[in-house]
Amino acid sequence: MSNQSYYERWLKIKEQMKVALAEDERLQELAVATVGIKPQATAVEIVSRVYCKYCELYNKLCECYDQMEQIQRRPFIKTLIDAITCRLLELKVTLENVEVFEFTYPENALQQMLIVPDDIKILCPFHYPFEIRQAEMQYIIDEIFAGNRLGDPTPTPSQLELLEAQRLEEEERLQMEKEAEIKRKLAMGEEISITESLHLSPQELEELRLQEEYNTHVFNIQRMERSRIVTREKVHKFNKDTDLYLELAGLKKPQASEHLRTRASSLIQKIYRSFMEMKRKHKRELSLYKKLDMIISSWNPPSAKQQLEKVKEQRRNFRRKYHEDWVKENIKENDRVFRLREGDVMEEISAEIRQWLQEWYDNLRLFDEFPYPEEGGSILIVKGETFTIEDYIEWKAEEEKRLKAEGGQQKSKEQIKAEKLAAREEEKRLKLEAKLREEKRLLDYKKARLNPSNDPGVYLTVGHNLEHMREAWENYEIEWKDLDERHPPTDVIKGYIMKLVTENAYQNLQFQLRPIVDEIMRIELNMLKNSLKIDYQDAGIAKPPQSKKRKKPKKVKEPKPDKIPPERMFQELVDQGIIKKYPHVTLDEFWGDQNYGAADTRAILWTPTFPPPCIGDVKEQVRVRCLLTLGSSCHNAVRSQLLVGPKGSGKKTLIYAIATETNSILIDLSPMNVYDKFPGPKNLKIMFHYVNRISRLMQPSIIFVDNADKIFCKKVPKEEKLFDPKRLQRDFVKEIIKPINAAEDKILVLGTACEPWLAKGGQMYKAFPSLILFPRTDYGSISYVLTKTLMNYHGISRDFNVHSVAQVLRGYDINTIRKALNNVLTGKRVAELYFKPLLPEEIINAVLDINEAVYTGVDDYDMYKQWYESYSPWGQKYLDYMAMLESQLRYKLKEEKKKK
């Protein structure tokens, strides 16, 4: 796609942004005015429309941010992405409250908007892993994972000599062993490979092995091809000799008559034409079925996605080149502006401040306090965020009233202390009253909803992030409204605009010189205050009027440098096995289908049904709660999630996928992994310190706790006492969860649990207030996995009965099913598919033959449901909602009986 196309797309995104903001503002008006919406399905659709529009905008903005080559527009797009992320998380919570369920189904809103679920699937933005972590930290990660040691103390000369001696001794020993083996093979008459007679490095040996393996395959193909050619020539010669013998012996049958041959050829032509017509029709039908995904072809053309990625990477390279040129031009322009306008800018700033001082003196005959450097200095005067003359007059009048009421006496320390204590008690009382009022309001609201005639409807949650998003959008409009035209110049589409570079240079010069001017003006202000004080004393006024004293802000303490360098801490955690490499898994490799019928069944007015979520719904939940949260800077982001489900349900796979998609480091604090690491209370504190420092320095980071329920278990089983799984229980929340700042840190704590009912719910809830419950494998997901896997084989019928197999295998984990398919479809079985079709029984028997197969029955999964209702607040909300529906239905039936 060209730069012009991306620019035109950006103009369309701007229009979509205006529409989405307008609709969101209407939603906020309903929430602020506490307007109830009913029925429930209508409220779901209203919120879902805004949520879906923001999801679509989010994906488009991320693509523009990645591919747009206009350097100066990208920071504004990044700000918009961050603002939309916070609003999306907020709307997700609102949608959950409206649906009274953690899993949300906006399909009815999608139908109205004429878009498909893939359009609102949250994508992992390209900039997550590459614009958060510093290049120095990435270098440390790459080097240590490559096997190079960093951070080790520098060895002394004697240690270096000892290491060199050990290396030479080891090389001599290996050489002697090789020579002894060669002599033995020569004596026994065995063949000696080239790798044994040469001194090669491990890398060269691996290359040689791969080359030998490649040559072996090539030789096999050549032998098979030569054999095929020889066999064909032999058969051809045999048939030719046989035909010649029959002809010479007079045993060859005479040819048919001309008339019969003509009729036969006509019949063959007719049948062949009919066959070709049927073949063309069948081909057209197949093409149509493939487009409709009714049939999946075993052969896929070269992926268009891969070609698109190559093009995107080329555009990124162009963008990086433009960015380098822009940085160089900024440096040159900053130097030029500083040389030419340094004095003029200092005079302008001084004139602004002197004008402010003159206004105060002319109106009030006094001077206001100068803002402290920690607040921003005179920049607050320019923004109008200091004490105005009107504010001073109002404050002065109130101060005089207060002093008059107090009789002009100052309060003692005891009186001030007593007033503060009384104010705190009053604040506590007001909070308790507000809490009781809110509880009473909720109780009255629940009672009112029991009767459909008195039902106030669903109240929407008031959002707090819409203002930030509107502010980000207005900032962009102010800067770019005159530049975004239908036919703009080239520098608006790609590269950079020199005018903005110059304006930015002036702004930087202002920020650079303002602190210097502020110090000068503070000295001048003190001189003016002293002169004014002398004037008041000469006039006989002993105590001149003064402005309100400014509170001096606390100085932000600079963080102390670490005594231990990051590379040493990282190396130590890698050596201990706490930071480790994880499998490269993407979210696309976690297969599962969504429940597309849930939106309709839940929207039935009086008798809705609530089908269980599917594996694809869990995947979508992970996208929002984990992927979106990990890259956001939102106060409302929940940074710890507990993944609960039966064994083999894919919890670890999803965690590896999140880490892969975001290029995060994985810190494994599983109880079975750290039981013997950093022994003792003192060393345990060191481990927590290392984990906290590394997770922040090298963010994005994922702190992974496998079997987190064992940390908070009620009673440790005898066979697990050796591993001390409760070792982290006391300090886990204090040392890991609490230090995470949701607005700054890109850290996610992910735990897994297979038997959560054995843990202490209260303690585990403090660490993991949010959870994602994995469902039992369903028919849709299993049939999806079977279809995706089996249709890759050319010999399998396109209408293979995956549906009955999926029905039979419900409850078996996906990993077991995929392993069974690999066991069945061996090379020999694939070769036999042409004359011996695959049977459903073969797949079912292969699943049953796997000893490690995990089957979760309906009764087994009920234990997870019961625990979920007691642990999660959504369990009680769901029970209250069901009671409300039953009550409304009873009232409705009574009214219908009365009418009859």
DSSP class of residue 664 equals: -
d(CA 746, CA 896): 57
What number is the average pLDDT over the span 182-196? 65
Decide: helix, strand or coil at residue 842. helix
Q: What is the pLDDT of residue 237?
A: 94
Q: What is the pLDDT of residue 129?
A: 58
Q: What is the pLDDT of residues 364-375, one digit of tens each?
A: 788 888 888 887
Q: What is the pLDDT of residue 615?
A: 84
pLDDT at 197 over 50: no
Confidence of residue 130 (pLDDT cuts 50, 70, 90): low
Average pLDDT score, the chain: 83
CB 768 within 8 A of CB 708: yes
**Number of residues assigned to the chain:** 900
Decide: helix, strand or coil at residue 666. strand
The token pair at 338 is 């500083």
The token pair at 252 is 């060859």
Torsion of CA 716, 717, 720, 723, to 10 degrees: 10
Confidence of residue 151 (pLDDT cuts 50, 70, 90): low
- Among 9, 125, 75, CA closest to 496: 75
User: Can you state the angle between helices 74-99 and 40-67, rounded to 10 degrees?
Assistant: 160
d(CA 508, CA 504): 6
Confidence of residue 279 (pLDDT cuts 50, 70, 90): very high
Confidence of residue 302 (pLDDT cuts 50, 70, 90): low
Cα atoms found within 13 Å of the Cα of residue 622, Cβ hemisphere only? 30
Q: How far is CA 868 from CA 335, 644, 756, 813, in A?
A: 63, 9, 9, 20
d(CA 544, CA 536): 6
Portion of the chain with pLDDT greater than 90, in percent: 5
The token pair at 621 is 């939940």
CB 49 within 8 A of CB 19: no
CB 13 within 8 A of CB 60: yes
Long-range CB contacts for residues 841-845, cutoff 8 Å, separation at least 24: 843/786, 843/805, 843/809, 844/805, 844/808, 844/809
- Among 664, 656, 689, 479, CA closest to 573: 689
pLDDT at 559 over 70: no
CB 372 within 8 A of CB 552: yes
Q: What is the pLDDT of residues 222-255, one digit of tens each?
A: 999 999 999 999 999 999 999 888 888 888 788 8
Q: What is the pLDDT of residues 788-812, one digit of tens each?
A: 888 888 888 877 888 888 888 888 8
- Among 782, 812, 759, CA closest to 649: 812
Decide: helix, strand or coil at residue 665. strand
Q: Which of 117-131, 444-458, 472-486, 609-623 has the lowest mean pLDDT?
A: 117-131
d(CA 594, CA 105): 10
d(CA 314, CA 851): 49
CA angle 683, 684, 688 (to 5 degrees): 115
- Among 705, 713, 725, 573, CA closest to 640: 705
**Burial degree of 326 (CB within 10 A; 0-12, 13-18, 19+):** middle
Q: What is the pLDDT of residue 190?
A: 66
d(CA 615, CA 549): 61
What number is the average pLDDT over the span 147-163? 72
Torsion of CA 623, 626, 632, 636, to 10 degrees: 110
CB 652 within 8 A of CB 774: no
Non-local CB neighbours of 638 within 8 Å, separated by 6+ positions:
625, 629, 742, 769, 770
pLDDT at 84 over 50: yes
Q: What is the pLDDT of residue 227?
A: 93
Cα atoms found within 13 Å of the Cα of residue 429, Cβ hemisphere only? 6
The token pair at 485 is 């035209």
Alpha-helical runs (H) found in 779-872: 779-790, 802-808, 814-824, 827-832, 840-849, 858-871
Q: Which residue has the higher pLDDT, 832 or 297?
A: 832
End-to-end distance of the chain based on CA atoms, in angstroms?
66
CB 95 within 8 A of CB 47: yes
